Amino acid sequence: MTDKTIHKTIIIGSGPAGLTAAIYAARANLSPIVFEGNQPGGQLTITTDVENYPGFPDGILGPDMMDLFRKQAQKFGAECFYKHVSKVDFSSSPFKVYVQEEEYLTESVIISTGASARMLGLDAEKELMGYGVSTCATCDGYFFKEKEIVVVGGGDSAMEEASFLTKFASKVTLVHRRDEFRASKIMIDRVLDNPKIEIIKNAVVTDILGSQKDGVSSILLKDTIDGKERNFECDGVFYGIGHKPNTDQFKGIINLNDQGYIVTNPGSTLTNVAGIFACGDVQDDHYRQAITAAGSGCMAAIDAEKYLEDL
Ligand code: NAP
């Protein structure tokens, strides 16, 4: 099916960046279409309470917050669809955006497909995500006051999360699958110097035990050298094993950096293709917060509006 309408802007992705772009684009009369993707609302829909987003002094559930963002965008005329963009063609304007066989034409595109935390792939993590298992220390660390926490990973993220979590936890155990860390020396030294952090090397987490009602009670740890498995008690598990930007559809079409993040011009949301803008975690491997994503979504809509005015 081809929709012959040439839209002013299509927004791909529906986390804080995409839906903020939708609010601003709708209020600028750009009649945005939002393709929400496979995880409508983005990463916030797999967290529980959000307590650090300004304006919600009592906190708000991540999914509820994204419902409010969507409602606000729709109020001004944004059209949101639970559809996943499978392919794009940015070789000439109007640009083409595909949802399987459906083709949509547009004068500008705002990409806000986000990033996904890498997971271990355990069955238990699906059930316990937000109930003791987390991929974001900044978001969830506060809920683990005086608790014992495991952090998985051996890179800078894991080191940073482990150090940060000692502000709340009574004890943090860093579990890494190898003998050597990938992290930078300064980050490793900070962890080694912290009396609240213990390190277990050459071990992988093979299961997480607990329930949504009572949270995490322990993990199963397998020694990678002798193969022995043991139970290890803890109250929470944080993954620090990296993020993967959701840019598979854009490889070879717009500029990505070595890690796959979209490259934007500093201080703006412009990509190397005029008319294509990127905001949120898909172009930010550093801050990765809802509020920074929302801010860059606002920037993308303003950048798109300016681009369309100058056409
Ligand atoms: P990363 O450097 O890719 O490290 C990921 C870590 O997780 C590695 O130690 C890896 O183990 C481990 N891992 C991956 N998959 C695993 C699995 N399935 N099971 C167990 N362990 C697994 O990712 P990152 O730490 O998020 O860092 C990403 C980039 O951001 C880096 O360039 C980093 O320097 C940067 N960063 C910088 C800062 C800072 O400077 N403040 C903070 C955070 C991130 P192996 O080592 O065995 O592969």
Domain ranges of the chain: 2-116+244-309, 119-239
Burial-class residue 278 by CB neighbours within 10 Å (0-12, 13-18, 19+).
buried
Q: Which atom of ligand 1 is nearest to the CA of 156?
A: 25
294 alpha carbon – ligand 1 mean position (Å): 25
Annotated catalytic residue: which of 49, 80, 139, 303?
Answer: 139
pLDDT score at 2 = 67
Rg (CA), the chain: 21
3-state secondary structure of 66: helix
Q: Is the CB of 245 under 6 A from ligand 1?
A: no
pLDDT score at 46 = 63
3 alpha carbon – ligand 1 mean position (Å): 42
Q: What is the pLDDT of residues 163-221, one digit of tens each?
A: 999 999 999 999 999 999 999 999 999 999 999 999 999 999 999 999 999 999 999 99
pLDDT, the chain, mean: 95
Predicted TM-score (pTM) of this structure = 0.79
Q: Which atom of ligand 1 is nearest to the CA of 120?
A: 18
Nearest by Cα to 12 from 40, 35, 29:
35
Active site residue 140: yes
Q: Whose CA is nearest to atom 37 of ligand 1?
A: 156
Q: CATH number of the domain at 2-116+244-309, out of 3.50.50.60, 3.30.70.141, 3.30.9.10, 3.30.70.100?
A: 3.50.50.60
Annotated catalytic residue: which of 136, 235, 281, 284?
Answer: 136
Probe target for ligand 1 pocket from 202, 241, 286, 287, with the most ligand atoms within 8 Å of CB: 241
Active site residue 139: yes
Q: Is the CB of 107 under 6 A from ligand 1?
A: no
pLDDT score at 1 = 64
160 Cβ neighbours under 8 A, 6+ residues apart: 137, 187, 240
- The answer to whether the bond into 94 is cis (omega within 30° of 0) is yes
Q: CATH number of the domain at 119-239, out of 3.30.465.10, 1.20.1250.20, 3.50.50.60, 3.90.1150.10?
A: 3.50.50.60
Q: Is the CB of 177 under 6 A from ligand 1?
A: yes
152 alpha carbon – ligand 1 mean position (Å): 10
pLDDT score at 47 = 64
304 HSE (CA, 13 A, CB side): 34
Q: Is the CB of 182 under 6 A from ligand 1?
A: yes
pLDDT under 70: residue ranges of the chain: 1-2, 46-48
Active site residue 136: yes
198 alpha carbon – ligand 1 mean position (Å): 18
Q: Are 279 and 293 in contact (CB under 8 A)?
A: yes
156 alpha carbon – ligand 1 mean position (Å): 6
Q: What is the pLDDT of residues 280-291, one digit of tens each?
A: 999 998 898 899
